[in-house]
Structure 1
Amino acid sequence: MIDVRMGGIRIEQRIIQIKSPAQYNGWTMTQTWEHLLFLHWAVSPASIKGLIPEGLELDTYDGKAWISMIPFLLSGVRLRRMPSVPFTTTFPEINVRTYVKAKGKTGVFFLSLDTSNPLVIKIAKFWYRLPYYRAQMTFHHQGDRIDFTSRRLSSLPQSPMFEGSYQPLADRFLANEGTLMHWLTERYTLFCRCNRTKQMMYADVVHEPWQLQETVFHIRENSMTENLSIPLTDSPHLALYSRGVQSLIWPIRSLADLSSDRGG
């Protein structure tokens, strides 16, 4: 079930569109990510090292590994030179990720992605080898407050769940290079592993820099990492909001292809 309702006071912030998209070659998909809540927890590297596949190295900041949980609204899914994908107009998603590097290239590794759209799950699993799960979700936007719920549809005794609300505060800003905020948010590569071949893969992503805001939030329930045995504090160490960006996504490539690349 999807509940997406827009009403109340109109937020004047705008989605940051790709500037001069014609300059980019080789991308295969575009998506727009809206109303993102970035929740970040510092954890010991030892607590999640076992979840990182061989071929990737855990990336740390000041000796700490980080787990991020990001509820948001996904829209505008479209393949290059094609109309929007049917039945994927607008729907909620929540992902759990950590930070990795390989051969000089830094990026993210998704531990789970939950959405209510079964077609997107099939596409993402086939094209990008991502660990997607189907969930029952709601996204309620009233004024500048967002209420978000997700419960994974699974046979586990306790399905991973998230329920909370959030809204932006203050003015937008860009994270300064070298800061923790920049390190956590300005990531332009996703790494994944093919379940069939066990081969490590990666895909590049392009979007304009995140325009971030402070946020007020309330988490009512969060069991998204319990099945991964990742201990998280009740409150994240850092929380941020972004109205969103348009993104371009390249096809996945073998990690072996990075041997001649210069990472970034």
Structure 2
Amino acid sequence: MRALRFTWRDCLFVHWPVGTAPLENAIPDSLALHTYDGRAWVSVLASTIENARLPGAPRALGMTFPQVNFRTYVRLGDATGVYFLSLDTASRLVTRVARRLYHLPYFHADISIETDGTDETSNAERTRRVRSHRFHPETLPVEFEATYRPNATATVPEPGSLADFLAERYRLFVPQAEMTARVEHDPWTLHPAEADVRAGSLFDAVGLSVPDAEPRVRYCPEMEFHVHAPKRLD
């Protein structure tokens, strides 16, 4: 049963390959890392969540707020999905509710998303900046910053490719609350992008070293999402 719907707007994906051993220490014992050609990955997804609301509720009742998710790829048996290492959001209400009800690692942050360009500049050519500064009382300050611009035509990832592995995820796991939830959305249509990314303190906060490799960066203007009601994690 669908429990929540929203639009993800100006979605920035930043992906890094990481060592499996350190990352295994950052996820619960009940989950296993899901790797691609033997490599583990972590990703940042920065976006504006727009009109988050219950199914059937009018858009006018929805909540809109920026968010920065830091996640990795996991499996439980044959089921694959994502595990959130942290979620930063500018909404105090979302932070309180998600932490209390679902034990998700949400943190309150000051987040800004800016877009350069004029009316004559196409949406896909504009430069964007995301800045997030976490100041939640339970953690040290954590910052994420990215300046990026799409630089190629958007494509749908080919099934079985690395791009498909990193983007097409339809389940999230929250072992802390013994729950999992399915997610529905269309296949991602992604622009390659050039970017200047600063994410070191995100890695520090979960005990990971900052990767030496340059990240893969992708951009999608928008995506409609439906999240199903959580179920018990078996």
Asked whether the two chains share a fold, i.e. TM above 0.5, the reply is yes
Distance change (3 Å), C-alpha of 1:156 and 1:127: closer
Map residues 1-264 of structure 1 onto 2, 5 A cutoff: 26-84=1-59, 88-89=63-64, 91-143=65-117, 144-155=126-137, 158-194=140-176, 199-220=177-198, 222-233=200-211, 236-256=214-234
Query: Is the Cα contact below 8 Å between 1:77 and 1:85 reproduced in 2?
Result: no
The 8 Å contact of residues 165 and 217 in structure 1, kept in 2 or not, is answered as yes
Give the superposition deviation at 1:53.
1.0
Answer with 238-247 or 125-134: which moved more. 125-134
Q: CA RMSD in A?
A: 1.9
* CA contact 1:168–1:214 (8 Å) conserved in 2: yes
Q: How many angstroms does 1:233 deviate by?
A: 2.6
1:95 is paired with a residue of what secondary structure? strand
> Which string of whole-angstrom CA distances, capped at 9 and with x for unpartnered residues, describes residues 90-109 of structure 1?
x2110100000012110000
Sort the Cα spacing of 1:245 and 1:157 in 2 relative to 1 into closer, same or farther, 3 A. Answer: closer
Q: Counterparts of 1:86 and 1:159 in 2: how far apart (Å)?
A: 32
Deviations 1:39-91 (A, max 9, x none): 111111101101211221111111111111121111010112223485723x2
Deviations 1:221-263 (CA, angstroms, capped at 9, x unpaired): 641121212112366431111112000000111112xxxxxxx
What one-letter code is carried by the residue in structure 1 that aligns with 2:157? Answer: A
Q: How many residues align?
A: 226
Q: Is the 8 A contact 1:41 1:68 kept in 2?
A: yes
Residues 1:234 and 1:219: Cα distance change in structure 2 (over 3 Å): farther
Counterpart amino acid of 2:68?
I
Q: TM-score, normalised by structure 2?
A: 0.89
Structure 1 residue runs of 5 or longer lacking an equivalent are 1-25, 257-264
Say which SS state the counterpart of residue 205 (structure 1) adopts: strand
1:142/1:75 Cα in 2 relative to 1: closer, same or farther (>3 Å)? same
Q: Which runs of 5 or more residues in structure 2 are unaligned? A: 118-125
Distance (Å, rounded) in 2 between the aligned partners of 1:232 and 1:187: 24
